[in-house]
Structure 1
Amino acid sequence: MATPEAAARKNIDAALQSAGWLVQDFAEMNVTAGLGVAIREFPLERGHGTADYALYVAGKLAGVVEAKKEGTPLSGIEVQSEKYARGVPRLFPAHVTPLPFLYESTGVETQFTNRLDPEPRSRRLFHFHKPETLAEWLDPEQNPPPLLPLEKGHPAARSLLPSTLRLRLRQMPDLDPKGLWPAQLKAVRNLEASLYAGKPRALIQMATGSGKTFTAVSSIYRLIKFGGAKRVLFLVDRANLGRQTLKEFQQYVTPDDGRKFHELYNVQHLTSNKLDPVAKVCIATIQRVYSMLSGKELKDDDEELSAFATLTDLSPQPIPVPYNPNIPVEFFDFLWTDEAHRSIYNLWRQVLEYFDASLVGLTATPSKQTLGFFHQNLVMEYGHEAAVADSVNVPFDVYRIRTRITESGSKVEAGLFVDKRDRESRAVRWQKLDDDLTYSAKQLDRDVVAMDQIRTVIRTFKDRLFTEIFPGRKEVPKTLIFAKDDSHADDIVRVLREEFGKGNAFCEKITYRSGTARLVTTKRGADGKEVEEVTYKTTGIKPEDLLSSFRNSFYPRIAVTVDMVATGTDIKPLEIVMFMRTVKSRNFFEQMKGRGVRVINSSDLQTVTPDAPAKTHFILVDCVGMCEGDLVDTRPLEKNPAVAFEKLLQVVAAGGTDRDVVSSLASRLARMNQRIGKPEKERLTRLAHGKSLEALVGGMVEALDPDRHVEAARVANKLLPGEEPTAAQISRAAEAAIRTAVSPLAANPDLRNELAFIKRTFEQTIDTLSVDAVLGAGFDAAATEKARGLVQSFEQYIEEHKDEILAIQVLYSQPFAKRLTFKDIKALAEDIKAPPRTWTPEALWRAYETLDKAKVRGAGGKRLLTDIVSLVRFALHKDRQLVPFTEQVEERFQNWLAQQENRGRKFSAEQRQWLVLIKDHVAASFRIDRDDFEDVPFNQKGGLGRVHQVFAGKLDELIEELNEVLVA
């Protein structure tokens, strides 16, 4: 019987061979037989023992492999490999001694040390490197020796040996700050410091809208140009985000060269399973990478689904990944994950850990498990509050809408007629109720659709939109509504169009199923009987085209989605995010909420929303109590039986074999088998190549039987009677059994699509009888308390500093016009914005508006720096109303003009033009001086010389008068 050591050697032989090594015995070695040759039981110099494997590259020794039995901890074994590396027989050729490449392996677990690295450190590998890779690493032409002196004792310091990636990362030039925001600059520098320290994983947390992708592109450019990275993999959530990322790379102008990134380095967006061999950067979804590694084709639709947001909650076990010699583990030097959520530690973890690459995560919302995956190495922390303070994000307010049916459900009495609607076809029939229909809030829009509940919410939103939510507006701000599912989204769209009295273009549904049609054709089979053939095709406008219109055009004003726009999608003009569905995941909610935070300049905003003065904030309209509920970081499947059927199918399609997922799916399929009729069963059997749904469920249940796993492990490992398989052997047997049982689903997208279609055709009850009622609508109590706290803190700060800060001191007393300068106001604004306060005029203005709208004017308008004067005087209770400084100046200007005319002082048309320019300058800069007339816009009209002529030498007198009148 084979010993554990022999079994490990067998696995190691197979792994080396799959990586391209020729494995030979020492007695029969032929090191010229190929580029890479692994010699078993290689004798070394006296006192150094025998290496389990000696690795020859191009005819010379380059490394060793120390083999251990499965289950042996590899940490601490490096000392034995080091001993082998130093024991090269004196007359045997070697690239360098001690040997540079050291491996330790059990055949299941492998680790590697590159002694050419600074401070060589072992790291885990998914698989052995290819011999071509080691040959490249040893080539001084491809990896020129380092230019800078190395640490004393480093092997490369003694000769002109090639450099390594980790060595080059210690010799990066200083970062040019040009074109980078302060947060982006800090992120790149901190990441490079982490790489200098040799840390294999790093997490960058930057608020949504703060330029994470631009930061990544800036860093990747440096890693390629100065670090010598051969290839970088950039992972995105969905295909449309891949297209968005590709544009970022194409538009990036390199700071030192001036050319575009893609003009210097090839960038490939992977839309097929074919890699461009010269691409420096590959952009892909993690689903695409998995399909390439596993040798499977991937449908385009599968890439439009969010792997991060849908699949990863459902399986605590990673998808198994095979070694693919066409994409070896060393293929990428760096792996970036954009929006690094639950995927990195659940379903897709092994895809990420396949590559021998440094991992860099980008996220706006890190969870505890995300931080754990990245070894708690958070190199940048830049949250929403800091981004708001830096004007990189806009803040938000919560507007709450509560209705009776939303919170409590309703009841329809027996004997009344209700509609029954097919979820998919939307066909409706009448049915008389035999019993009372009582439904809860959780059943809304899934089992029961209460039309008046949707209508009441939408009508309340419409009625309050232009009076409370965005007072004074006439056009509906760009609004994104999150629905529960596709059917719910359809209902919302129809009600929105009706309530607002608008056409189709006003509101659109943007989901994964937008533009997807199910086509049924009938054909005659070989036996002469007619059979139905079902196909799914994309028709009409694509979701990405709808998104483009929503982002860049006047229509649609409102978009309704489920979760397609939940992460990563950039829609800068968005001013309202509305929740008509709940989510349990804290990270997912933060991502959905984050769609509204992006900054946009006023002119760009006005191209799509003409009556919007500026985007100073966005409104989160909470119709379901999202901001009041308890959110969690994870969502265990068995504790949440409401996980969508289609999501369970997606896990299986992606190769998942988690027992809880398969058990839940089997249960759902068994219930479906009881509800469907003979035609549906026959159609499913045809699609499953003759296997009935009942048989499919039976196979899944059998595959979950623990006793069968034990027996299968005994057979697979050829155990003798009385021998018990190990836990690892049982686990492998269980995984194989489950994979075989679900293979009819995993390998058959048509069958999965049909099952999902049948599930959607189960009917909903349409309640058109229950009348809903508004329980409350307004900015939520938390927002009010937050506003009160901000106002109290601000007024306390003003009171405490009225004798210290010049601007407050002057504003506290009167007159102040002659003593206060724009520089003083700017200094005050910077002081109140500095941590820990991070206050801005916009936030303070909205806080006062929330507490007492009647006393606040100019809500929603763009704030100027001079508005700090109005805020301070209002806080000091010098003014009864909070009025924008520009409006105050305008009122004083008109009063002054009227007084001048009453006194008989007339102004010519040209003088009036100059006076208006002076007034506008004072409104923006607090005062005007002679030197200001040399700047725009005054210099365009003749500057100081001309204004002197226009006012006949009385300019100085006029300046003094207006400075006092307009700001008094």
Structure 2
Amino acid sequence: MKEAAARIKINKLLEAAGWRFFADDKGPANIQLEPSVTLKPHDLDALGENFEKAQKGFIDFLLLNEKGFPFIVLEAKAEDKNPLVAKEQARKYARSQNCRFVILSNGNLHYFWDLERGNPYVITSFPTPGSVIGYQKTLPDPKRLIEEYVEDDYVVLTQRPGYAAEASWKSEQERPRFIEVNALRFLRPYQKKAIAALQAAVKAGKDRFLFEMATGTGKTLTAAAVIKLFLRTGNARRVLFLVDRLELEDQALKAFKKALANDYKAVIYKENRDDWRHAEIIVTTVQSLLFNNKYQQLFSPTDFDLVISDEAHRSIGGNARSVFDFFVGYKLGLTATPRDYLKKLDKKNATTKDPREFERRLLLDTYRTFGCDDGQPTFRYSLLDGVKEGYLINPTVVDARSEVTTQLLSDNGFVVEFKDEGGEDQKESYKQREFEKRFFSKATNQLFCKIFLENALRDPISGEIGKSIVFAVSQNHAAKLAQILNEMADRMFPGKYQSDFAVQVTSHVDGAQQLTINFTNNNLLGSANFIPTYKTSKARICVTVGMMTTGYDCPDILNLGLLRPIFSPTDFVQMKGRGTRKHDFREQLFDEAIKENVKQPKKTAFKLFDFFANCEYFEKEYNYDQIIKLPKPKGKGGEKEDNEGDGIGGIAKSYEHLGEDILATMREEVIGSEGMKIDRMLYQKFETTIRENDFIVASIEANQWDRVIDYVNREIFGKSAEFYSLEKLRKAADVDRRITLREILEKIFGLIPRFKSKDELLEEEFSKFVADYKPEEAEAIPALKTYFKAYVTSDQIRYIIESGHLTDLATNPVFSTRDFKAVPSKYRTLIPEYIKDYVSLNQFAA
């Protein structure tokens, strides 16, 4: 019966995918059985009996192409057998028939195997004939992909191939305007590193990749470069770009059209249902494919050679993962906040204690889904990296607490005394989690809004309240806040707004997705409200719950309001990330006279209003070592956007505070380049790992440094759960030079009090030089020191000196011609020779 059941299921799957046992009006039969087996229409349902025990062995299906030639070998096994046991048998048979493709199936579990690409891949449906015919046209050549040279103009060469020969580009004065007018998208250094990391992963045999990149670092542009890489090198014929929200669908399409339209066509699937096959890039939402399992009806597993999942930590959750796993081919995940559900988990106990929970963790863990089993992405670029390199902005935190919220945040909570029905005195305590769920206070909401408006950053062009996003507890709370903000705006700006200053943007509001797009495009409920030639949204504040947290791109945001407690680090990072992008407000101004008089046209800061001590929570209280809890499985209707309910346990009564509320404390803190604790947590465990290692401790006590360094490189780097590396530890140390592994170990064991800065080390090295050569020209020592430091720290200076191109010093900002002339002639060659012999340049690199 197991053989029969498997055969019947396989027959149905083949027919559902468009394969034919018999000729019909759609064409000739394209399924051929073993040469010894003949088949008539009335035999089809009966052919399941003992098919594995046929006289000549297993009965294979040979699927034919449109010309009737062997195309795919389908090897069938009984339901109780793993189809992979037939792998080598199928390979042999496929080679004999000159077939590139194999399907292995037991009726329930199926594998599609491209013999030119590597390993069998699990599929949930059989591919259609037409899809595999198209797929066959792409013959993968990983070598071309690996060796493709990607420079900063990789995308620009598609946008404007001859840009480098144009006069406006050659002129340094005209070049910035030329780039702006033509919207040329040059890759930043870290974006090129991301692509290089992907190429290295392909070289290592991987076909899944994860880019963990902070909000505002250009994930979509990086994706565009990756798409061009795969299409240009012939390693992809068609790409699927998955997003999890409608507004992101339109946003991605526009980005791909701007970047790649000259070479490749991009379309949104729902707008091109009939001719999507004519495009190389298909953009769609996961939700639209999930509805009634449309993805299985509309697509074949081999329709796409590369699938990119935007906001990957969300698009693999729940049923959405089935869409992602449906397709064969390369997979790339993009996210700022991956979910590491396996972190700190005792896997041995987890598999026996609750195997179902462990299985869910495996399925939902972002790193594992994208082939990063060690918990490290293919490439990472953090908010701290972006701030240090000048691409992103850290917030100015405004921590404001009222008398009510101070009590809600206290250990005891906000205590309410009352008499029960029997006349007995009772007490009820409310915590911050219950704000706007069981605990309500109109006065507190009004105070929040007042503080926000009085302290918000203003637009540098028009002087009005800067564009802002306010995050509320629930949809009802969002409605209240929008009403309060509009009432206050009437008083602050008489006649300027007609209840369109603040807008509720939540899923209950019709057209909410379009509202978010209009806010980005500066036409939400109108624009140019203060200056006719300045395009900026008339609506200044969007009040939302969760709609504008992930992937929402609006660089001119100046204020964020956290009018809700937050307990998820992922949510906190995403919300904070809405403000980190830089922006030049002159891009929206069409009056040259006004442009010239704008004092601070560029966004250099944004304010994060925190009314529930969220920043303090993630700085001091949140346990970063805890095992992340799994989200509750979604019901048929999905989870509510705002998780509204009756409160904790749903038992206690709600309470409305009718009294006044006043500001208790408020302080501003500019977050520096060191960032918040949540941004720098990755390597805090390295010191513990090293100190607890008996071999390392004993070797250091014996002063056997070579032995220790060799051991750490072999046994610690790349092998621990945290996947430490020297480069990552250097970043975590935040020193302005390249510290050595020995220095890191010395600091851990207290052998040095701190890491010396680059300048301190330079002073030490120059002192050694002076001690050795004892220059008699005392007045020349400052010039010698300047020369010494410049030669050590600058590749360009070393090249100029060694090549003899001394005229180049005239335009050098580090070491000028005047500086060189101040150096006595005998030291001009002596210092470089000394440095080459005695100074390690590596430690002075950034």
Normalised to the residue count of structure 2, the TM-score between the two structures is 0.61
Alpha carbons of 1:229 and 1:81: their partners in 2 closer, same or farther (altered >3 Å)?
A: same
Post-superposition shift, 1:448?
Answer: 3.9
2:225 is aligned with what amino acid? S
1:566 aligned residue: 549
Pairing 1:509–2:500 present = no
Q: Distance in 2 between matches of 1:281 and 1:462?
A: 43
2:472 is aligned with what amino acid? A
Post-superposition shift, 1:482?
Answer: 1.0
1:121 aligned residue: 119
2:7 aligned residue: 9
1:64 is aligned with what amino acid? V
2:140 is aligned with what amino acid? L
For residue 549 of structure 1, the aligned residue among 517, 522, 537 is 522
Residues 702-745 of structure 1 show CA distances to partners (whole Å, capped at 9, x for unaligned) of xxxxxxxxxxxxxxxxxxxxxxxxxxxxxxxxxxxxxxxxxxxx
2:575 aligned residue: 592
Rg (Cα) greater in structure: 1
Post-superposition shift, 1:592?
Answer: 1.4
Task: Using the TM superposition, name which of 586-595 and 793-802 deviates more.
Answer: 793-802
1:265 aligned residue: 264
Gaps of 5+ in 1: 89-93, 144-163, 253-260, 296-320, 416-433, 517-537, 655-663, 676-762, 832-923, 932-968
1:768 is aligned with what amino acid? L
1:65 is aligned with what amino acid? L
Post-superposition shift, 1:55?
Answer: 2.7
2:477 aligned residue: 488
**1:398·1:621 contact (CA, 8 Å) conserved in 2?**
yes
**1:482·1:562 contact (CA, 8 Å) conserved in 2?**
yes
**1:51·1:65 contact (CA, 8 Å) conserved in 2?**
no
2:309 is aligned with what amino acid? T
How do 1:63-82 residues align onto structure 2 when only pairs under 5 Å count?
63-82=72-91
For residue 220 of structure 1, the aligned residue among 218, 227, 249 is 227
Indicate the SS of the match to 1:215: helix
**2:762·2:789 contact (CA, 8 Å) conserved in 1?**
no
2:188 aligned residue: 181
Q: Distance in 2 between matches of 1:824 and 1:568?
A: 48
How do 1:590-739 residues align onto structure 2 when only pairs under 5 Å count?
590-601=573-584, 603-604=586-587, 612=600, 614-627=602-615, 628-629=617-618, 630=622, 635-636=629-630, 650-651=637-638
Pairing 1:441–2:432 present = yes
Alpha carbons of 1:12 and 1:622: their partners in 2 closer, same or farther (altered >3 Å)?
A: same
1:852 aligned residue: none
Alpha carbons of 1:823 and 1:365: their partners in 2 closer, same or farther (altered >3 Å)?
A: farther
**1:507·1:560 contact (CA, 8 Å) conserved in 2?**
no
Residues 148-182 of structure 1 show CA distances to partners (whole Å, capped at 9, x for unaligned) of xxxxxxxxxxxxxxxx2356755763324322211
Residues 469-500 of structure 1 show CA distances to partners (whole Å, capped at 9, x for unaligned) of 999x9764443221112222233234445556
Q: Distance in 2 between matches of 1:104 and 1:180?
A: 42
2:763 is aligned with what amino acid? D
Q: Distance in 2 between matches of 1:795 and 1:478?
A: 42
Residues 179-229 of structure 1 show CA distances to partners (whole Å, capped at 9, x for unaligned) of 221111122232234335542311112221111111111121232232152
Q: Distance in 2 between matches of 1:237 and 1:273?
A: 19
**1:605·1:612 contact (CA, 8 Å) conserved in 2?**
no
**1:126·1:356 contact (CA, 8 Å) conserved in 2?**
no
How do 1:392-471 residues align onto structure 2 when only pairs under 5 Å count?
392-409=391-408, 410=414, 439-461=430-452
Post-superposition shift, 1:649?
Answer: 6.0
Post-superposition shift, 1:441?
Answer: 3.2
Alpha carbons of 1:365 and 1:111: their partners in 2 closer, same or farther (altered >3 Å)?
A: same
1:39 is aligned with what amino acid? L
Post-superposition shift, 1:363?
Answer: 1.0
Alpha carbons of 1:23 and 1:376: their partners in 2 closer, same or farther (altered >3 Å)?
A: same
Q: Distance in 2 between matches of 1:52 and 1:287?
A: 37
How do 1:78-227 residues align onto structure 2 when only pairs under 5 Å count?
78-85=87-94, 94=97, 96=98, 99-115=99-115, 117=116, 120-136=118-134, 142=137, 164-165=139-140, 173-178=148-153, 179-227=186-234
2:322 aligned residue: 350
Alpha carbons of 1:540 and 1:127: their partners in 2 closer, same or farther (altered >3 Å)?
A: closer
Post-superposition shift, 1:366?
Answer: 1.8
1:159 aligned residue: none
**1:170·1:196 contact (CA, 8 Å) conserved in 2?**
no
Alpha carbons of 1:129 and 1:39: their partners in 2 closer, same or farther (altered >3 Å)?
A: same
Alpha carbons of 1:613 and 1:546: their partners in 2 closer, same or farther (altered >3 Å)?
A: closer
**1:168·1:228 contact (CA, 8 Å) conserved in 2?**
no
Q: Distance in 2 between matches of 1:926 and 1:135?
A: 60
1:81 is aligned with what amino acid? A
1:23 aligned residue: 21
Q: Distance in 1 between matches of 2:513 and 2:398?
A: 36
1:131 is aligned with what amino acid? P
1:53 aligned residue: 61
2:114 is aligned with what amino acid? N
Post-superposition shift, 1:23?
Answer: 3.2
**1:207·1:364 contact (CA, 8 Å) conserved in 2?**
yes
Q: Distance in 2 between matches of 1:541 and 1:366?
A: 27
2:572 is aligned with what amino acid? F
Q: Distance in 1 between matches of 2:134 and 2:664?
A: 71
**1:236·1:284 contact (CA, 8 Å) conserved in 2?**
yes
Post-superposition shift, 1:48?
Answer: 8.2
Alpha carbons of 1:241 and 1:39: their partners in 2 closer, same or farther (altered >3 Å)?
A: same
Q: Distance in 1 between matches of 2:605 and 2:789?
A: 23
Alpha carbons of 1:264 and 1:375: their partners in 2 closer, same or farther (altered >3 Å)?
A: closer
Alpha carbons of 1:483 and 1:122: their partners in 2 closer, same or farther (altered >3 Å)?
A: same
Residues 318-370 of structure 1 show CA distances to partners (whole Å, capped at 9, x for unaligned) of xxx7x32x421111121111111143143311111111232111111222210
Residues 437-490 of structure 1 show CA distances to partners (whole Å, capped at 9, x for unaligned) of 875433322344312222333444455558xx999x976444322111222223
Post-superposition shift, 1:106?
Answer: 0.8
Q: Distance in 2 between matches of 1:781 and 1:281?
A: 40
1:34 aligned residue: 28
**2:584·2:602 contact (CA, 8 Å) conserved in 1?**
yes
Post-superposition shift, 1:651?
Answer: 2.0
Alpha carbons of 1:827 and 1:649: their partners in 2 closer, same or farther (altered >3 Å)?
A: farther
2:367 aligned residue: 371
Pairing 1:769–2:659 present = yes
Alpha carbons of 1:35 and 1:598: their partners in 2 closer, same or farther (altered >3 Å)?
A: farther
Q: Distance in 1 between matches of 2:785 and 2:467?
A: 39
Percent identical pairs in the alignment equals 24
2:300 aligned residue: 328
**1:515·1:543 contact (CA, 8 Å) conserved in 2?**
no
Q: Distance in 1 between matches of 2:492 and 2:472?
A: 20
**1:606·1:612 contact (CA, 8 Å) conserved in 2?**
no
2:522 is aligned with what amino acid? S
Alpha carbons of 1:277 and 1:549: their partners in 2 closer, same or farther (altered >3 Å)?
A: same
Q: Distance in 1 between matches of 2:75 and 2:203?
A: 29
Q: Distance in 2 between matches of 1:454 and 1:816?
A: 67
Q: Distance in 2 between matches of 1:245 and 1:767?
A: 45
Task: Using the TM superposition, name which of 549-558 and 185-194 deviates more.
Answer: 549-558
Q: Distance in 2 between matches of 1:816 and 1:461?
A: 58
Q: Distance in 2 between matches of 1:539 and 1:784?
A: 33
